[in-house]
Amino acid sequence: MKLREGVEWAVHCCINLSWVSPDTTVPAARLAAFHDLPTAYLNKQMNALGREGIVASRSGPRGGFRLGRPPQDITLMDVAAAIDGSAQAFLCTGIRHHGPAGRITGQADARTPCTIAQAFSLAELEWRRNLAGRSIADLADAVQRANPAAPEHVRRWFDQP
């Protein structure tokens, strides 16, 4: 079970965008340069965030990305789902209905949801709830508590042409 590495990139970029000066849009190349990431691949992640309204983009010579809504309204679950998809990690292929198992226990089982799939769904729900309870603003605050100068330093770097 692996989350795509783009999730880490996207969360960092959202935190950085929460710190840039208001109305600043940042090109993907600049977001990528800050963490020494490949621009083309980061651009794909940023467009995935854009499709979910997590970032907004402006095209043209002064174009780029900014947050699509306030950082307290963007959760880690929003970012993870935008980059990694929102499908369940546990895929029930219904093998209880296949072969002799299906013939032996099938009729009774067909009326009830699969106990195994339910158990994994419940565990995943805890994971989703936890990530949905933590926003980009929460994380930006935590980074700032550990490193009070970070927001100002990041803002200054992104304000440079």
Of 44, 69, 123, 159, the one binding a second copy (CB under 8 A) is: 123
Cβ-based nearer residue to a second copy, 58 or 103: 103
What does 107-143 look like in DSSP terms, one character per residue?
A: HHHHTS--HHHHHHHHHHHHHHHHHHT-BHHHHHHHH
Backbone angles phi, psi at 54, to 5 degrees: -75, -35
Identified binder of a second copy from the candidate list 21, 23, 62, 126, rule CB under 8 A: 126
Residue from 21, 51, 112, 161 that binds a second copy (CB under 8 A)?
Answer: 112
Using DSSP's 3-state secondary structure scheme, residue 71 falls into helix
Length of the chain as a residue count: 161
Beta carbons of 149 and 17 less than 8 angstroms apart: no
Residue number, 51 or 122, with CB nearest to a second copy? 122
CB of 59 to a second copy, least distance (A): 25
Q: Which of residues 13-72 bind a second copy (CB under 8 A)?
A: 15, 33-37
The stretches of the chain forming alpha helices (DSSP H) are 6-19, 28-35, 39-51, 76-84, 99-110, 115-132, 136-146, 150-159
- Using CB under 8 A as the criterion, which residues of the chain lie in contact with a second copy when the complex forms? 1-3, 5, 7-9, 11-12, 15, 33-37, 76, 84-85, 87, 89-93, 95-96, 98-101, 104-105, 108-109, 111-112, 115-117, 119-120, 122-124, 126-127, 129-131, 134, 139, 142-143, 146-147, 149-150, 153-154, 157
